[in-house]
Amino acid sequence: MTFASRCQLLLLAALVVNALPRDLNQFPCEALESQLHLENTTIISATRVAAPTNVTTTASADCLTPQALVSASICRVEFLVNTTSTSSVRGEAWLPDIWYGRFLAVGNGGLGGCIDYANLDYGASLHFATVGSNNGHDGQDGRAFFNNPEVINDFAYRAIHVETVIGKQIVDTYYGTAHHRSYYLGCSTGGRQGTQAALKYPEDFDGIVAGAPATDWNHLMGWDTMMARYIGAPNATASPSFITPSLWNVIAAEILEQCDTLDGVKDGIITEPDDCHFRPDSLRCKGDTVQNCLTVPQLEALRKIYGPIKDTVGHLLYPRYDPGAEADGNAQRVLSGSIISSDWFRYTIFNDSTYDFSNFSVDDVVFSDQINPGGIRTFDGDLSEFKNRGGKFLTYHGRRDEVIPSGNSKRVYNLISKTLHMPSLDSFYRLFLVPGMNHCAFGPGAWRFGQYGLMTGAVNASTHNVLLALVDWVEQGIPPDTVMGTADDGTQRDHCRYPRRSIYNGESFICE
């Protein structure tokens, strides 16, 4: 039996209470295509899919999902919603034969207009009626935003709301009864979307899992661009500041040498990157040595990378890169000298498809937030409406995140605390920091806790599965004290809710 199959059986055993078997004669799946009429919506197709199997998708080639796994038998509904005369959202609803009365919306990643089929399958395998969308455009780049503000609006805030409103109507019609709880699951851009939903549409969800949220979006895009500028972008390889991938390996080893044991154990993991004050001068080239060492321009670039970015008068724009994150191979997305956020600035901020970034500076980062296309910033601490209606918000962030500094999630927590005058947010908002985890998943730490698809360790206990922990919190009033993660080698570790810290007591890590 495969790992995914074992996970599915465990979850079925855990969630069998209150299951509602689907009467296939009550409202046949195929009838949705011709008989369901929703405002500004076209039901493209409605087909029954017997699991396990793979289905063909209509995703753009760069989404890399020509086929999608279906682990639980479903009614698959494909739909299109016209959000304005110049914009639309394409989505799918995966409606499992055995349903627990729960609705789940899933988010997206990057600038992407790619339906998250892995989490559609994950949700349906947990017997949530699960809905996802293309976020208002197709493909992984930002060209669809160019001179099209309504497409930007879909991406910034509207697509998740639309998929939720239409998805709930599809779900309630198909099952012949209203859903009783509504949830959201996403990471990265999906984490930002979940946060935006709580801010703008607090009635949409009873519970939200928002991982590694790309909040304070414009400043994040600017931070990413400045990382590339520090090492010479847009012509990085010709710059004296450029740092090669092999040199990054040297830097990563030195950072571990300086900071690995700060938490009391040498294990290749920096538990609290904020305690790591990396001294790059230890790698300075001396005498005739030119291999595996850094020149003065490279050292200056490192000091900037491992410091926060600030505007010209010293105001914080975005936290620093986490020491330790450079060790992940995917860190080259940010540290290679290429600008992964280039499309955001070209197609939304400057409206100039030929902009070359040769004069990009922190002034442009500030300018981008003044423009704030579609109100995408998502950096507002007023979650009072979501809190007051009983909403629960569960967020997590890897301390080895190579794409979004984990310090930003601390910053958001503190912003909410200050805005709501709540020293502790434990009653409705919990942040779990995950040592040794990369962006959303993977890494040397205990990164599997049910946060993204069956690959993330779908264990049948809410103590080990962040989505099930959210269900317990919403439906039984049992908040998660910790989240237990599992590493690739099978070792487990409790992840602590902020502001508690993970402390090594000589035998294991505990939360204090």
Q: Are 113 and 144 in contact (CB under 8 A)?
A: yes
Cis peptide bond prior to 499, omega within 30° of 0:
yes
Give the SS3 label for residue 406.
Answer: coil
Compute CA 185 distance to the chain's CA centroid, rounded to the nearest angstrom: 9
How do the residues of the chain divide into helix, strand and coil, expressed in percent and rounded to 5? 35, 20, 45
Structure tokens at 509: 């890590």
Q: Which residue has the tokens 């998708």?
A: 57
* 78 backbone dihedrals φ, ψ, rounded to 5°: -105, 135
Cis peptide bond prior to 479, omega within 30° of 0:
no
The residues that bridge with 41 in the sheet, in sequence order, are 81
Kindly name the residue from 87, 88, 182, 188 that is annotated as catalytic. 188
Q: Element (H or E) spanning 3, and its range?
A: helix 3-15
Residues 6+ apart with CB under 8 A from 362: 222, 226, 309, 310, 311, 312, 317
What is the distance between the alpha carbons of residues 143 and 202, in angstroms, rounded to a whole number?
Answer: 30
Kindly name the residue from 401, 472, 495, 502 that is annotated as catalytic. 401
Q: In angstroms, what CA-CA distances link 93 with 105, 166, 404, 455?
A: 9, 10, 30, 21
Per the annotation, the verdict on 401 as an active-site residue is yes
Q: Are 124 and 71 in contact (CB under 8 A)?
A: yes
Q: Which residue has the tokens 């910034």?
A: 156
Nearest CA-CA partner of 498 in 436, 381, 404, 409? 409
Per DSSP, helices labelled H in 231-314 are 245-259, 296-305
Q: In angstroms, what CA-CA distances link 245 with 5, 20, 250, 251?
A: 38, 53, 9, 10
Give the SS3 label for residue 153.
Answer: helix
Task: Cite the beta strand spans of 129-206 per DSSP E.
Answer: 129-133, 181-187
Task: Cite the beta strand spans of 371-413 per DSSP E.
Answer: 392-398
Helical pair 362-371 and 217-230, crossing angle rounded to 10 deg: 160
What is the distance between the alpha carbons of residues 495 and 497, in angstroms, rounded to a whole number?
Answer: 7
Give the SS3 label for residue 294.
Answer: strand
What is the distance between the alpha carbons of residues 253 and 435, in angstroms, rounded to a whole number?
Answer: 17
Kindly name the residue from 179, 439, 464, 495 that is annotated as catalytic. 439
Q: Are 154 and 89 in contact (CB under 8 A)?
A: yes
Residue type for position 160 = I
Q: Are 435 and 396 in contact (CB under 8 A)?
A: no
What is the distance between the alpha carbons of residues 110 and 428, in angstroms, rounded to a whole number?
Answer: 27
* 342 backbone dihedrals φ, ψ, rounded to 5°: -60, -40
Per the annotation, the verdict on 439 as an active-site residue is yes
Cite the active site residues.
188, 401, 439
